[in-house]
Amino acid sequence: MRPKMEFDPLAFFTPSLKEDSVFIQDDSLSVKAHVQIAIHQSVTSERVTSWHDDSCDECEEEEDALMPLHILDLPMLRLQPPYPVLVTILKLLSPDEVLNFEPSNRQQNANPDEEAIFREKAISSIHLKNALTWLNNSCPRLNASAKLSLVPHLSLALRANFTNEYNAYMTRIVSNELSWMSEAEKEEVQSLASMRISENCGRMAQPQLKRKIHLANLEKYGREYIYLNEPSMTNDNLGLKTWGSSLILGSRLLRVSTGSPFLKEPVLELGSGTGLVGMCCCLMGMVTTLTDLPQIVPNLQTNLKLNNLENYSCAELDWSAPGSSPVYGKSFSTVVVSDPVYSSQHPHWVVNMISLFLNDDINNNSVLIEVPLRPSFENERQLLWKLMSDQFVEVESEIEDGYDDFGEMKFCYKRFIRKI
């Protein structure tokens, strides 16, 4: 049986007491919201002050349509909004696709294509039509499709501005009998409302999300984006989400020219997680084997298929029991690994795996490692470097700046070859 990991999910996040400033500006509407985000461990509290820009005369007649959206603008539950109304609003409030580690709507400007928005949020035209009929009479702030189409763009500020009220609104839906709906309608509405609550409770509590990754040079390999499916996190299955190290290492790989002496096929990735690093190797045309624990591999396979990749295989490999893996006995010219140490056993296991699977050929072996510099895992990192130095020579090292869902972070890249 696999030894239990000494793992506390909260210990994984480096507390950051620094205040980041996010400036949300919607020029076409002249609405400005200044969001100060204070991040501490996995709990994010967001405080917002918002104001309308008084200097914009042309915007006055649009004032009624203007936001920031307030919780009181949403359909009031005591008016018994019908199913299409609540489904439409709850879907519009869902977070946008994530681009790298940011909601993509932070990077959009307004002027949205209405139809595209409703399609992206999976709102059917019949639901929209029925919702508008009711909203026209009972919810003046959202009584036109143009106004509704702005909701996704404004939802980030709404959640930041009125976090408690937002959660309370959703909780009221979840706890209401919704006696005016059928059982199936009630179930759908309540499940959407509970997803909206969980999205507001930090990354670790979020439901499934789709992440779009853009990296410089991807176009060179015929892609605009890499797509990553991330199921909701369960237990300590950290490989179900993408971590900042893989973005930096993936981006480094794409900068390297194919055929580089330190990036030769076949490539083995250890602890692939959602697969970003291994996928970059595949895109560069290298035969690549992506590996992880049994509970992570199904989603890894989903992601490989999602991106229509070739040249890859995907296998279970538990570092604590490599003998049962289909890759056992094979050897690789390059081993890549990103963010692999967060328990005292990990450094031993990772170095054992590198030693086991890396080619012995002196001119044909290379290990690329990227780790985040989380202060709470300093000892594990030092142990990793110490164990690596017993068998391998460090030939390159760099500290680099990066970020992930939890904020900015420094990362360390190192490349090693076998000792002669």
Ligand X SMILES: C[S@@+](CC[C@H](N)C(=O)[O-])C[C@H]1O[C@@H](n2cnc3c(N)ncnc32)[C@H](O)[C@@H]1O
List residues near ligand X by CB under 6 A. Answer: 238-239, 242-243, 245-246, 271-274, 292-293, 296, 317-320, 338-340, 349
As beta bridge partners, residue 98 has: 103, 211
Tell me whether residue 272 or residue 289 sits nearer to ligand X (CB atom): 272
Tell me whether residue 138 or residue 320 sits nearer to ligand X (CB atom): 320
Alpha-carbon distances of 198 from 129, 204, 206, rounded to whole Å: 28, 9, 5
Q: How far is the CB of 214 from ligand X (least distance, A)?
A: 16
Alpha-carbon distances of 35 from 38, 66, 151, 172, 409, rounded to whole Å: 10, 18, 18, 26, 21
Q: How far is the CB of 318 from ligand X (least distance, A)?
A: 4
Q: How far is the CB of 303 from ligand X (least distance, A)?
A: 11
Tell me whether residue 38 or residue 403 sits nearer to ligand X (CB atom): 403
Q: How far is the CB of 292 from ligand X (least distance, A)?
A: 5
Q: How far is the CB of 365 from ligand X (least distance, A)?
A: 21
CA atoms of 272 and 339, how far apart (whole Å): 9
Torsion angles phi and psi, residue 284, rounded to 5: -80, 0
DSSP string of 41-95, one letter each residue: TTEEEEEEEEEE-TT-STTGGGGGG--S--GGGSPPGGG---HHHHHHHHHHTSP
Closest residue to ligand X in the complex (CB) = 239
Alpha-carbon distances of 409 from 16, 123, 363, 400, rounded to whole Å: 10, 38, 34, 9
Q: How far is the CB of 317 from ligand X (least distance, A)?
A: 6
Upper half-sphere CA count for residue 321 (Cβ side, 13 Å): 8
Whose structure tokens read 């890894």? 300
Contacts of 305 (CB under 8 A, 6+ apart): none
Tell me whether residue 84 or residue 271 sits nearer to ligand X (CB atom): 271
Q: How far is the CB of 275 from ligand X (least distance, A)?
A: 8
Question: Does residue 266 have a cis peptide bond before it, meaning omega lies within 30 degrees of 0?
Answer: yes
Tell me whether residue 152 or residue 239 sits nearer to ligand X (CB atom): 239
Tell me whether residue 312 or residue 349 sits nearer to ligand X (CB atom): 349
Tell me whether residue 173 or residue 238 sits nearer to ligand X (CB atom): 238
CA atoms of 274 and 332, how far apart (whole Å): 21
CA atoms of 307 and 196, how far apart (whole Å): 28
Tell me whether residue 30 or residue 242 sits nearer to ligand X (CB atom): 242
Q: How far is the CB of 151 from ligand X (least distance, A)?
A: 32
Question: Which among 252, 233, 228 is positioned nearest to 100, based on CA atoms?
Answer: 228
Q: How far is the CB of 137 from ligand X (least distance, A)?
A: 49
Contacts of 416 (CB under 8 A, 6+ apart): 366, 367, 369, 388, 392, 393, 394, 395
Contacts of 34 (CB under 8 A, 6+ apart): 21, 23, 24, 48, 49, 50
Q: How far is the CB of 342 from ligand X (least distance, A)?
A: 6
In angstroms, the first-to-last Cα distance of the chain is: 36
- 276-283 and 244-255 helices cross at what angle (nearest 10)? 10
Tell me whether residue 91 or residue 414 sits nearer to ligand X (CB atom): 414
Q: Are 290 and 259 in contact (CB under 8 A)?
A: no
Tell me whether residue 192 or residue 240 sits nearer to ligand X (CB atom): 240
What is the token pair recorded at 212? 């779009």
